[in-house]
Chains A and B, each alone.
Chain A
């Protein structure tokens, strides 16, 4: 066995071990955090999610290895290719197919038909995906079954998503961190709402009791009209009591007796009872709407109160300071993005090298650029990757809890796995710009023909409207809630 093969095998084993740990993490994360409320019936879904997560983490791992020059160059390059190919196939072919298959299998078609329908839709999906690429100025020279074709298209979708999320996050972050936007909650108001809610519930109960009585009266009249019948023993008895208790002065008409029925409860139909009942029913509907509104408002107020209490703690105050930094950063990013588009700047120098250059000039010291570049890149990129992975997983959890229910949980998770793969691939494409030149090699090698600058331009292009739109929405929300409170 030659030395090269040996090195290669050794590297592969190391990579596989790390991948196994990523896979385990993804698997457990799925079970413990995402599918907290549901039973895992389709293990394949769990495996798919863990698989995409593993592929994404491998990509990041390879970038870090590139910076720190761990493992052999050829092994890294090989793994890059394999990873990107698997990711592309997973996101474009495997997951959509599985989603369609799950969807059709719940429709109750025969196996053959399910497969056929899924394959047809998959073909449609792939075709649609292809057309996206045609609309954008991405390189299209080389053979059409190359990795660039897939990744470039995934990149377009992913970068759009990233830009929208970034725009939203850039505005939302300072908004949640700053205490300036918190309104003091009037405890008295809370107590009032609470009372109001209880009163409304009591009113609903009272009206529903009235409905029961009306219903019984109506059925009693119906029975009398029919000329007496058996089996009405319980209802008759109850009717007497209801009528006597509620309408004291009414004539006590002798009711026909009957043997007591076995049933110990009277089922009252939700319909019938005449015009009076219909009026009560509409009142009840109105009250029920009111109770929902009150509850929602009560909940909002309680959350605000919690937030206000949090802002008073030490951690809260720290967050407030952070909030100011984030707002400044957000404004800065907006300006830079606009400048990029207006002046059509092409950013060639990465922030690491630039910072080091500036530091050199300021400090007037000759530092070993090469050495420091490596470590600063490692720290910077490492932190960026860790933060974005963690942030994305958090968003994933929040989104899933909000929108999933027992029926759609599997499909939603697959969709989110697809989103995750797309997101992380695009992240790598954009990350390339933050890396010093010499570390860009592997990415540029494997994805030779992709015009990376296009993605940055596209990112800025979508980021600006997204951030502005979010700001507008927040301003509107603030204005309307301020109006409500002043009433």
Chain B
């Protein structure tokens, strides 16, 4: 019988970052407690940390979810939290395109580089249900390569938006969620599967030293392969659309990726 790792060497820390007001604190709450946050939280100053019990291979692990405040004011001081990271969740607001564009800046901040290029990123080979396409690898400033996940929040508001420039057509590798809808995070939903896969990958990397999955050539082949037949959008949501068509707006374009064949 194994015990729950509680020594310092067994820390698993996952960082949650993103622009101010995208819903990181709400996401953190629903991930840790399986319950939606009912009152609007204050803008996070510093960090908020929660602990989540996660089972992998029938063993329980404590995941530390550390959410860092996203106000530009504190940009220079945020880096105190960027050590001993084993995974990253990048959050953006589906109703605010700028927060998605700013993810590039966040990735650069985490990687410790001004101009962030996706040369070192590999997207995991797609699993049968397409849930893995949202998990990829990120090389941090410390040199480690950790799994990363992009999450888009406020999906419920997106449906109500008449004039948003974002539509289902946009090729977008993020996981679309509604942090106020607890049901969409329960077992057997798209969100749950993607998150489980992500957490599993984090634990694999942390404790079993699996090599980073880097298939740059494969990942940047074409949007068509990335968004194949999978259904995007949190399962159970009435706004889930049928199989997406690939579109002009691709993940690669928006982040200025260079398609290299390593």
Q: Which residues of A contact B (CB under 8 A)?
A: 35-39, 41, 194, 197-198, 201, 204-205, 208-209, 211-212, 216, 234, 237-238, 240-242, 244-246, 260-270, 288, 291-292, 294-296, 298-299, 302-303, 306, 401-402, 405-406
Whether B58 pairs with A265 at a CB distance below 8 angstroms is no
Partner of A265, one of B47, B66, B97, B196: B196
State how many angstroms separate the Cβ of A107 from the closest Cβ of chain B: 14
List, sorted by A's number, 10 A–B pairs whose CB atoms are closer than 8 Å.
Answer: A35-B98, A37-B20, A38-B96, A205-B51, A209-B51, A212-B51, A246-B4, A263-B186, A266-B55, A295-B80
Whether B47 pairs with A241 at a CB distance below 8 angstroms is no
Give A288's nearest chain B residue, CB to CB.
Answer: B48
Given known contacts A39-B95, A240-B1, is B60 in contact with A268 (CB within 8 Å)? Answer: no
Whether A264 pairs with B53 at a CB distance below 8 angstroms is no
**Interface size bracket, B side:** 35 or more
Given known contacts A39-B98, A292-B45, is B55 in contact with A194 (CB within 8 Å)? Answer: no
B102 within 8 Å of A (CB atoms): yes
A211-B51, A266-B55, A268-B53 known; 14 other A-B pairs, CB under 8 Å? A37-B19, A37-B99, A201-B49, A201-B66, A212-B62, A237-B60, A241-B3, A242-B60, A245-B4, A262-B187, A264-B55, A264-B199, A265-B55, A267-B33
CA distance A194 to B81 in the complex (A): 10
CA distance A213 to B90 in the complex (A): 29
Q: Which residues of B contact A (CB under 8 A)?
A: 1-4, 6, 19-21, 32-35, 43, 45-56, 58, 60, 62, 64, 66, 72-74, 76-77, 80-81, 93, 95-99, 102, 161, 163-165, 186-188, 196, 199-200
Given known contacts A41-B163, A264-B54, A298-B80, is B46 in contact with A270 (CB within 8 Å)? Answer: no
CA distance A405 to B23 in the complex (A): 12
Contacts of A291 in B (CB 8 A): 46-47
Given known contacts A260-B58, A405-B21, is B51 in contact with A208 (CB within 8 Å)? Answer: yes
CA distance A204 to B51 in the complex (A): 9
Whether B55 pairs with A406 at a CB distance below 8 angstroms is no
Give A260's nearest chain B residue, CB to CB.
Answer: B58
Whether B35 pairs with A270 at a CB distance below 8 angstroms is yes
Whether B21 pairs with A208 at a CB distance below 8 angstroms is no
State how many angstroms separate the Cβ of A392 from the closest Cβ of chain B: 21
Whether A298 pairs with B3 at a CB distance below 8 angstroms is no
Contacts of A299 in B (CB 8 A): 74, 76-77
Give A215's nearest chain B residue, CB to CB.
Answer: B53
State how many angstroms separate the Cβ of A282 from the closest Cβ of chain B: 17
Whether A302 pairs with B51 at a CB distance below 8 angstroms is no
Instruction: Give the interface centre of B49, B66, B99 by most chain A CB atoms within 10 Å.
Output: B49
Which are the 6 A-B pairs with shortest beta-carbon distances? A267-B34, A295-B46, A245-B3, A208-B51, A299-B77, A263-B187
CA distance A295 to B47 in the complex (A): 8
Give A206's nearest chain B residue, CB to CB.
Answer: B6
Contacts of B102 in A (CB 8 A): 37
State how many angstroms separate the Cβ of A240 from the closest Cβ of chain B: 7
CA distance A241 to B55 in the complex (A): 12
Whether B196 pairs with A238 at a CB distance below 8 angstroms is no
Whether A265 pairs with B6 at a CB distance below 8 angstroms is no
Contacts of B55 in A (CB 8 A): 234, 238, 264-266
Whether A39 pairs with B164 at a CB distance below 8 angstroms is yes
State how many angstroms separate the Cβ of B163 from the closest Cβ of chain A: 6
Whether A244 pairs with B3 at a CB distance below 8 angstroms is yes
Contacts of B60 in A (CB 8 A): 237-238, 241-242, 266
State how many angstroms separate the Cβ of A430 from the closest Cβ of chain B: 33
Contacts of A269 in B (CB 8 A): 33-35
CA distance A276 to B141 in the complex (A): 41
CA distance A266 to B80 in the complex (A): 30
Given known contacts A197-B80, A264-B196, is B53 in contact with A39 (CB within 8 Å)? Answer: no
Given known contacts A269-B35, A406-B21, is B45 in contact with A208 (CB within 8 Å)? Answer: no
Give B19's nearest chain A residue, CB to CB.
Answer: A37
Partner of A302, one of B2, B64, B77: B77
Contacts of A302 in B (CB 8 A): 76-77
Contacts of B58 in A (CB 8 A): 237, 260
Whether A246 pairs with B6 at a CB distance below 8 angstroms is yes
Contacts of A216 in B (CB 8 A): 53
State how many angstroms separate the Cβ of A87 from the closest Cβ of chain B: 29
Contacts of A204 in B (CB 8 A): 49
State how many angstroms separate the Cβ of B79 from the closest Cβ of chain A: 10
Partner of B98, one of A38, A266, A294, A402: A38
CA distance A104 to B229 in the complex (A): 42
Give A296's nearest chain B residue, CB to CB.
Answer: B45
